[in-house]
Structure 1
Amino acid sequence: MHPRKKRQRKNASAMKLVGSLLACFREAAGLTQRELAGRICVGEDTIASIEQGRRPLKPDLAAILDRLLETKGALSTAVENLPEIDLIPAWAEDYMDYEREAIALSWFENQVLPGLLQTENYARAVFRSKVPVLSEDEINAQVDRRVGRQEILHRKVPPTTSFVISEAVVRDRLGGDEVYAETLRHLRACADLPGITLQVMPLGRETHAALAGPFILLETPDHQHIGYAETQRGSQLITDPDEVSILAQKYAMLRTQALNPEETKGLLDRLLGEL
């Protein structure tokens, strides 16, 4: 299974301009991408992604680079003056970059299956449920993109991935009975994939560690720990160590409250037997 080509972001031209400026200043300073990354304690892939316009340059990093490269605030000024539309989708797009490169993922969901576990038909049902409605072309593009992300689970060395999913999500018949049956079979197969741990949070619990909603934790190749959360009208990438620690504590508690992996497989087998 091969990675899908990344969707072109609306602010691609502006981001490429900022990235090209960084590359120009870096080369003028006589530094390689690896050398620059080492000096500011980020991964070489981060510098490469920014210079290629695939990842936005954040204001705090721009300020650090301006000081190091002695660019008199040029990068900070460029970032501050990006069009507003450029800033709206950046969190979600940035998360996709991190997800693609992650060495570990921990994912809690209580409304819908994690995107990495959705079948094509389930994903289509998700996007057809959107309000306002999407066109068929938009739905097809979104489904293709979502299914394409799943290639990370089938790599020779996949990320270590843990999912905790509400039982309500597993029992929901989004898309109808045929999609439900296909989804159950898919989840049962995913539960046996190398590197994946799947746990169901059972209904009827008296305590729950994540009543505030779903979230994702990931670890980057340079061992940075990052959180991500989505709301009805936006999303947030969480890098503050204290906030990430709170999410990690919540996730650790969720895993003790959920069915263990073998119990989860048993539940899926029972549900499949009821079809």
Structure 2
Amino acid sequence: MTEKPSKVWSRWGIELRKHRSRAGKTQAELADLVTISRPQLGKLESGTRTPSSAISGALDEALATGGVLQHLWSELKAQEEIPPDWRDFVMLERQATQVREYQPLMVPGLLQTEDYARTLLRQSVSVDDEEEVERLVQARMERYEALPRTLLTFVVDQPVLERVVGTADIMREQLTRLLELSNQRVRITVIPRDAPHRPLVGGSFRIMTLPTGGMVAHSEHPLGQVVVNQAKDVGKLFRYFDNLQSEALSPTASRELIDRMRGVLG
């Protein structure tokens, strides 16, 4: 049976083939240099075999690429670990210098604890089994760690804090996490129930500022998620966010509210 090339690793294989050709080496010659078989090297070039970090480094050294293959391996490995439905969104998120997000129904994914995320995913009609749940939980946990310098601004509705997801213990842990993350880089503000001029917005959305200065938005709906890149539409969401933020409590008052909600849980 013919092995099917990986869409992700075929790109790495093409890069390997290009550098091998530039170095004037046959597959057999290069395979000998890195102590693998010629068929194995052929599978790496065709994208039917997933390379390791070690073999990427060895091939870089043998072909004097300056680390091109190792760098590409790290990029593609991160991409492979992102669930397909999230791929475009998460790759944009990782490039962003600032992320603004509004959530009316749940704690934003970047701020969720494992148990909170796991409970939500188990309730999702689109997740089929426990293995898929755990894969998605892990992907969600890694999102925050991948944004070491990104400025993050979140606006959430007060019912998000009051709605118990799973158990009181899970919710208490989640509210504690919000308090721990709330700092100069992570701004969390809450729209109180009695906000007099709260804009009516149909669902959650986030706006990502890219290194170029341009902005891309990402909006969620019941059947999935969509990237919004038309300037007019992004501008409309930006104005929505500005209006929502104007109705929210200050970061200090929001922390106090979160702490009170945590206290209610015991």
Please indicate, yes or no, whether the TM-score normalized by the shorter chain is above 0.5.
Answer: yes
* 1:129 to 1:91, Cα distance in 2 relative to 1, 3 A: closer
TM, length-normalised to structure 1: 0.66
**1:249 Cα deviation from its structure 2 partner:** 0.7
Cα distance per residue 1:170-224 (max 9 Å; x no partner): 11110111101101111111113x4111001111334322422110000112222
Preserved CA contact (<8 Å) 2:195 2:248: no
Any gaps of 5 or more consecutive residues in structure 2?
19-70
Cα distance per residue 1:223-257 (max 9 Å; x no partner): 22000011111211011111111111111111101
Q: Give the partner amino acid of 2:153.
A: S
Preserved CA contact (<8 Å) 2:97 2:209: yes
Preserved CA contact (<8 Å) 1:163 1:197: yes
Count of aligned pairs: 204
Q: 1:197 aligns with which of 178, 183, 187?
A: 187
Preserved CA contact (<8 Å) 1:102 1:220: yes
1:129-140 correspondence to structure 2 within 5 Å: 129-131=123-125, 134-140=128-134
The secondary structure found in structure 1 opposite 2:206 is strand
1:135-154 correspondence to structure 2 within 5 Å: 135-153=129-147
- 2:224 pairs with 1:234: yes
Any gaps of 5 or more consecutive residues in structure 1?
1-10, 25-47, 57-88
- 2:251 pairs with 1:261: yes
- Structure 1 runs (4+) deviating above 4 angstroms are 14-17
For 2:154, the equivalent position in structure 1 comes to 163
The secondary structure found in structure 2 opposite 1:173 is coil
For 2:48, the equivalent position in structure 1 comes to none
For 1:116, the equivalent position in structure 2 comes to 110
The secondary structure found in structure 1 opposite 2:178 is helix
For 1:69, the equivalent position in structure 2 comes to none
C-alpha separation in 2, matches of 1:241 and 1:91: 24
C-alpha separation in 2, matches of 1:151 and 1:179: 21
The secondary structure found in structure 1 opposite 2:170 is helix
User: Identity of counterpart residues, as a percentage?
Assistant: 25
C-alpha separation in 1, matches of 2:127 and 2:92: 29
Which has the larger Rg? 2
1:5-20 correspondence to structure 2 within 5 Å: 13=7, 16=10
* 1:15 to 1:244, Cα distance in 2 relative to 1, 3 A: farther
**1:125 Cα deviation from its structure 2 partner:** 0.5
